[in-house]
Amino acid sequence: MHPAVECEGLSKTYRVGFLGRKVKALLPIDFQVNPGEVFGLIGPNGAGKSTTIKVLLNLVMPTTGKARLFGKDVHDPRSRESLGYVPEAPVPYEHLSGLEYLQLQAGLAGLTAADAKGEVTRVLDRVDMTRHAKLRIRQYSKGMTQRVMLAGALIGKPKLVILDEPTSGLDPLGRRLVRDLILELRRDGAAVLFCTHIMSDVEMLCDRVALLIGGSIHKCGPISELVADTRTHEVVVDHATKEQVLALLKPDDVARLEVVAQRVLFHVADTRLQDVLKALLNGGLTVTRIQSERIPLEETFMAALRTSNQPGGLE
């Protein structure tokens, strides 16, 4: 089976202004999204997330590299046969009603008239917009518009859904709906690719993420892996002095050492924990507590940002 999304050496240089000044939005990047996977593209504003998505939808022509959806080159309209997409801050045809907009989407998706009717009813109900279906979109609030756009992306039960900043600017209820929809899509075996700078969504939803900074992928992998790099453990040794502990361990292994009432507390990196414990126990000390501390994704994100000297926008 083909991956839902494949990018190989994809880069994009925009030309702006009269003189065609070059703006490198995307350095060559590679990644894949597999069927049934929720993939998060994360990064600060201007990292190139939307550009990546636009290349995948053939809205923007890549400068180098190839992109494929379900094994078909993105220049081929058939690559979009089973796709749902919601752009960043979408502005739909405001003179159409929500219902008419969805009928249009169903028609474009190639559904027959009978199927279209059922699908439109289903998705309207799913986003809880049946009541407002006949209202013109220009009369909708931002949240209502986003709901109808999401409904449009669900038409025809797509195998791949691409969402650009789906939760930004939504109220808690709207965010909740987006999260539920993403999880529902995954349960039904669809792949979801979404980009965001809101870390809590990522941790809650994604199977894998790619951290995009300044147009290149800084890190890519399962969330647990991204976080494991930076996992540390707090170790507590009872009835011991600082000197006793340090005598048994290499100085590099010990961080943030404190002594509190005959107890020594310090931090150890995930990779060194087993060796450190062996040394302590063999040396006759009593380890009374080990507490794993997961550095949240947000920290990883900020750390990556600092090392790349990029201004970051984070919510």
Partner 1 sequence: MKQLGVLALAGFREAIRNRVTVVVAVFALVLIALTTVVMNLTVFSLDRVVTDFGLGVMSLLMISLAIFMSVGMLNRELERRTVFLIVSRPLSRSKFIVARYVGIMVTLTMLLAAMSAVYATQIWFFDVPLHNSMPAAIGGLWCQLLLLSAMGVFFSSMSGPITAAICVVGLYLVGQWTADLHVIAVKLGPVTGAIARAGYYVLPNFARMDFKPQAAAGMSVTLGEFVDGLGTSVGWSLLFIVGATLLFQRRDFK
Query: Closest CB to ligand ADP among 51 and 167?
Result: 51
Query: Closest CB to ligand ADP among 124 and 195?
Result: 195
Q: Which two tokens stand for residue 9?
A: 């050496």
**Residue 139, C-beta contacts closer than 8 angstroms, at least 6 positions apart:** none
Are 162 and 70 spatial neighbours (Cβ–Cβ below 8 Å)? no
Distance between CA atoms of 103 and 250, rounded to whole angstroms? 68
Choose from partner 1, Mg ion, ligand ADP, none: what does 48 bind? Cβ within 5-8 Å by kind. ligand ADP
Query: Closest CB to partner 1 among 90 and 283?
Result: 90
Query: Of 2, 9, 22, 23, which lies in the binding site for ligand ADP, with binding defined by CB under 6 A?
Result: 23
DSSP 5-39: EEEEEEEEEEEETTTTEEEEEEEEEEEEE-TT-EE
Choose from Mg ion, partner 1, ligand ADP, none: what does 92 bind? Cβ within 5-8 Å by kind. partner 1
Interface residue list for Mg ion (CB under 5 A): 49-50, 88
Query: Of 17, 18, 20, 91, which lies in the binding site for partner 1, with binding defined by CB under 8 A?
Result: 91
Q: Is 50 in the site for ligand ADP (CB under 6 A)?
A: yes
Choose from partner 1, ligand ADP, Mg ion, none: what does 47 bind? Cβ within 5-8 Å by kind. ligand ADP
Choose from ligand ADP, partner 1, Mg ion, none: what does 95 bind? Cβ within 5-8 Å by kind. partner 1
List the one residue out of 193, 173, 245, 9 whose CA is nearest residue 83.
193
Q: Is 204 in the site for partner 1 (CB under 8 A)?
A: no
From the CB of 264, what's the least distance to partner 1, in Å? 59
Query: Closest CB to ligand ADP among 45 and 271?
Result: 45
Contacts within 8 Å (CB) and 24+ apart, 127-130: 127/151, 127/154, 127/177, 127/181, 128/177, 129/98
Are 127 and 140 spatial neighbours (Cβ–Cβ below 8 Å)? no
Q: Is 177 in the site for partner 1 (CB under 8 A)?
A: no
How close are the terminal C-alpha atoms of the chain, in Å? Answer: 37
Q: Is 61 in the site for partner 1 (CB under 8 A)?
A: yes
Q: How many residues does the chain have?
A: 315
Query: Of 16, 91, 260, 261, which lies in the binding site for ligand ADP, with binding defined by CB under 6 A?
Result: 16
Angle value at C-alpha 34, between 298 and 13, nearest 5 degrees: 65
The residues of the shown chain that bind ligand ADP, judged by CB under 6 A, are: 14, 16, 23, 25, 43, 45-51
